[in-house]
Amino acid sequence: MLEFFLGHYAYWFTIILLALGLYGMLLKKNLVKKIIGLSIFQAGVILFFVSVAMKEGATVPVKAYNLPVSEVSNYMNALPHTLMLTAIVVGVATLGVAFALLINIYNRYGTLNEEELIDKIQ
Amino acid sequence: MIGSEIPALIPVTYILFAILIPVVGLWKRELTWHLSLLGTGIATFLSAWGFWHLIQTGETIRYFFGGWAPPIGIEFVYDGLAAFIVLVINAIAFLVLIHSKEISKVEFPGKKMAYYTVSMLLMLGFNGMVLTGDLFNLYVFLEISSLSSYALIGIGEKRAPYSAFRYLIIGTVGGSLYLLGVGFLYTVTGTLNIIDMHAMLPQVIGHSSVISALILMVVGVGVKAALFPLHGWLPDSYTFASSTSSALIAPIGTKVAAYILLRIVLFLFGVELVDDQLPLTTILGAFAGIGILYGSIMAIAQSELKKMLAYSSVSQIGYIILGISLANPFGFIGAVLHILNHALMKALLFLVSGSMRLKEGHSLITKFDNSYRKKYPWTMAAFTTAAISMVGLPPLAGFFSKWYLALGTIENSSWLLLAVILISSLLNAVYFFRIIEKIYLNNPEAEEAIEDETIQNNEVGFSMMFPMAVMAIGLLLVGIFNVYIVNVIFTMFPAGF
């Protein structure tokens, strides 16, 4: 049982991050905290991809003079990392749009608390 | 030969105009509308040309970026289905943007430049989603289109930013779930190319990662497609956004997401594999059926035209997903045909509601009366055409997609889903005919009102009438020449049909 947890600890970490992010988005009343939850959720996905690329005993994907390239197990998979660079950029853009919307909401209603906001809307 | 470059040229056109519009807009702000029309016009022309080329030659164009062949490089797959959807979305966007000329002066006067730039980015995202043959590339285009649609929805009434914010939270979670699903599939197959992965999936189909990935991807894309019960963001977003935004995003956005779902279910996994571990098509069909009824019933309860149309969208997207879930040729034809029909109908209806908001300052159904038929004879005629098509009366387009969906349910012996289609047609009739009744059939005291000389013809201008007229005639033509379209759809079938 312990091995099951320890052997998959990267995945448990991902699950915890995803759950934390969802918790923030669903239950926090402050809209900024919701965005923080969103960021944590995205970070969970990003870390999942990064941890998938890990190989035991492998080195960075740069050709070393004594390690033949044909032996793929010598090198880590670089593709998930490069994908995640794009995903991080997407995450930053999402944050930017989210904060722009928040500024707009604050200017119109003067609050970022969800309950007060819903009261003011109705 | 330029024909083989078309898949890359369409998104490039949009990138070019997304850069050009702010540059020219700094110099002359009025030109931004013309430029956005030019951009969508070129894209529509290219996609029409490409579609024609494809029908003539019957060859799928696979465009490799930078000359790198897949699975190493990223490719755009321009097959019959993609070409068809690209043509539909670009043509609709072109017509909607023509209509936006007057609305932009009232609903977002100081933001024209930003608005048209973002709408170019939105179309870039949608076209990329349809064309790409790479799952991660699809995620990037999905986020481009989503971020643009959050911005477009945020421009609108007072409540618009809050509904856009809610959409942002839900939409980003959907996108992240999709990405997580792609990650799962990547760990077991080692490829991101859809065609390559389709070839590898039979070897790994029993693996728990594959089934988790399928669920994650379907849920993630289902959020974007507003598949019941993931539709929560949709009604508020469409209602409070500016009329042009809802006319642009409602007919195109959810259709593209439904198309992605179709790609995942029928092309990436295929008919044989998708139900291997869990009866996914049955589950999708059940949710689609509930969504159809729920959307129709909620639409009846609304007193605001745009909100009614938003709920009606939830119901109509159910038809497309129902067609996908049938996983038989009739269901496929029905789904693809309904993407075209519903895009035309919903765009037309949202344009009518936009025109009403401009002319009357509201689009409350309760305030509609029979003076409208004198004030806006052609707008109301267009509205009625679309409404009748939504209900599904021949010879208008809406009948034929429902016909094929019904045939599909009969072929699968899913009598419950057949009942859902028939009942929902009745419900559609209820919520559209109550408006048509208000406009065309009058009660005694209103009879005098219509004779009143003070009611002048107040028809909308040419820039608004033209796109509505084109769509209304288009609905009739699609209905009448429906057999030719179905013949083309026959060539788009995924493997296994």
| Residues A97, B150: C-beta atoms closer than 8 Å | yes
Give the residue-averaged pLDDT of B149-178.
89
Contact B432, B305 (CB under 8 A): no
Chains A, B: CB contacts under 8 A, how many?
Answer: 66
Rounded distance, CA A111 to CA A30, Å? 9
Phi, psi angle pair for A30, to nearest 5°: -80, 135
Question: Is A97's CB within 8 Å of B168's CB?
Answer: yes
Query: Which positions of chain A have pLDDT values less than 50?
Result: none
Hey, are the CB atoms on B162 and A98 less than 8 Å from each other?
no
Residues of chain B found within 8 Å of residue A15, distances taken between Cβ atoms = none
Chain A interface mutation, best of B117, B165, B170, B209, highest count of A Cβ atoms under 10 Å = B165
What pLDDT does B108 receive? 77
- DSSP assignment of B125-141 equals HHHHHHHB-BHHHHHHH
Average pLDDT of the residues in B377-386? 87
Least trusted range by pLDDT, from B33-37, B332-336, B425-429, B453-457: B453-457
Whole-angstrom distance, CA of residue B218 vs CA of residue B214: 6
Using a CB-CB distance cutoff of 8 angstroms, which residues of chain A are in contact with residue B151?
97, 100
pLDDT at B477 over 60: yes
Q: What ipTM goes with this model?
A: 0.93
How near does any CA of chain A get to the CA of B194, in Å?
16
Cβ neighbours of A23 (radius 10 Å): 13
Asked if pLDDT for residue B289 goes beyond 60, the answer is yes
Q: How far is A14 from chain B (nearest CA, A)?
A: 11
pLDDT tens, B315-338? 999 999 999 888 888 888 999 999
Q: What is the mean pLDDT of residues B248-272?
A: 88
Q: Which pLDDT does position B232 carry in this prediction? A: 85
A2-6, B155-159, B272-276, B304-308: which has the highest mean pLDDT?
A: B304-308
- Pick the residue of B74, B169, B191, B236 with the most A CBs within 10 A to test the interface with A by mutation: B169
Cβ pair B169:A94 closer than 8 A = no
What pLDDT score was predicted for residue B450?
A: 56
Bigger pLDDT: B129 or B112? Answer: B129
Interface test with B, best of A32, A35, A45 (most B CBs within 10 A): A45
* C-beta of residue B476 within 8 angstroms of C-beta of residue B341: no
CB contact under 8 A, A93 and B173: no
Of A42, A86, A105, the CB nearest to B176: A42
Q: Give B90's pLDDT tier (boundaries 50, 70, 90).
A: very high
- Whether residue B179 is predicted with pLDDT greater than 90 in this model: the reply is yes
Mean pLDDT, to the nearest integer, of B11-32?
89
Identify the pLDDT of residue B73: 85
Q: Identify the closest residue of chain A to B183 by CA–CA distance.
A: A49
The reply to whether residue B169 touches residue A101, judged by beta carbons under 8 angstroms, is no
CA distances from B458 to B105, B231, B250, B448, B470 (A): 18, 37, 27, 19, 20
- Decide if A17 touches B, using CB distance below 8 A: no
Q: Does A10 touch chain B (CB under 8 A)?
A: no
Is A49 in contact with B143 (Cβ distance < 8 A)? no
Cβ contact, residue pair A108, B186, below 8 Å: no
Give dist(CA B184, CA B27) in Å, integer: 49
Distance from CA of B402 to the nearest CA of A (A): 38
A67 min Cα distance to partner chain B (Å)? 22
Distances in Å between the Cα of B379 and the Cα atoms of A34, B278, B412, B461, B473 are: 43, 48, 41, 10, 13
Compute the distance between CA of residue B112 and CA of residue B99 in angstroms, rounded to an integer. 14
Please check the confidence at residue B4 and state whether its pLDDT lies above 80. Answer: no
Arithmetic mean of pLDDT over chain A: 86
Q: Which of B176, B186, B193 to mutate to test the interface with A (most CBs of A within 10 A)?
A: B176
Is some CB atom of chain B closer than 8 A to the CB atom of A26?
no
CB contact under 8 A, A45 and B183: yes
Please indicate whether, in this complex, the C-beta atoms of B147 and A97 are within 8 angstroms of each other.
yes
Tell me the shortest Cα–Cα distance from A42 to chain B, in angstroms.
Answer: 6
Q: What is the mean pLDDT of residues B4-21?
A: 89
Indicate yes or no: CB of A22 within 8 angstroms of CB of B154: no
d(CA A101, CA A104): 5
Quick one: which of B202, B50, B66, B84 has its CA closest to B134? B66
Of A48, A97, A101, which has the smallest distance from its Cβ to B180's Cβ?
A48
pLDDT in tens, B191-235: 888 888 888 888 888 888 888 899 999 999 999 888 888 888 888
User: Looking at the predicted structure, is the pLDDT value of residue B449 above 60?
Assistant: no
The candidate with the shortest Cα–Cα distance to B474, out of B353, B380, B345, is B345
Give yes or no for residue B444 having a pLDDT over 70.
Answer: no
Sorted by sequence, the CB contacts under 8 Å of residue A34 that are 6+ apart come out as A24, A25, A28, A114, B169
Radius of gyration for chain A, computed over Cα atoms and rounded to the nearest angstrom = 20
For A88, residues 6+ apart whose C-beta sits below 8 A from its C-beta are A46
Q: Which residue of B has its CA nearest to A33?
A: B169
Residue B239: predicted pLDDT: 85
Residues 71-110 of chain A whose Cβ lies under 8 A from any Cβ of chain B? 80, 83, 86-87, 90, 93-94, 97-98, 100-102, 104-105, 108-109
When pLDDT is averaged across residues B338-359 and rounded to a whole number, the result is: 89
Residue in A25, A105, A117 nearest the CB of B173 = A25
Tell me what pLDDT residue B451 has: 58
What is the predicted pLDDT for the residue at B443?
A: 62
Mean pLDDT, rounded, of chain B: 86
Contacts of B176 in chain A (CB under 8 A): 41-42, 45
Q: What is the pLDDT of residue B247?
A: 87
- The mean pLDDT of B151-164, rounded to a whole number, is 86
Average pLDDT over residues B285-290: 91
pLDDT, tens digit (0-9, with 9 covering 90-100), for B394-414: 888 888 888 899 998 998 888
List Cα–Cα distances, B156 to A106, B171, B225, B233, B236, in angstroms.
16, 19, 22, 16, 12
CB contact under 8 A, A90 and B173: no
Percent share of chain A, pLDDT over 70: 100
Q: What is the pLDDT of residue B217?
A: 92
For residue A104, what is the nearest residue in chain B, using CA coordinates?
Answer: B161
What is the chain A residue with the closest CA to B191? Answer: A79
CB contact under 8 A, B165 and A101: yes
pLDDT at B442 over 70: no
- Has residue B122 got a pLDDT over 90? yes
Contacts of A22 in chain B (CB under 8 A): 173
Contact between B162 and A52 using a beta-carbon 8 Å cutoff: no
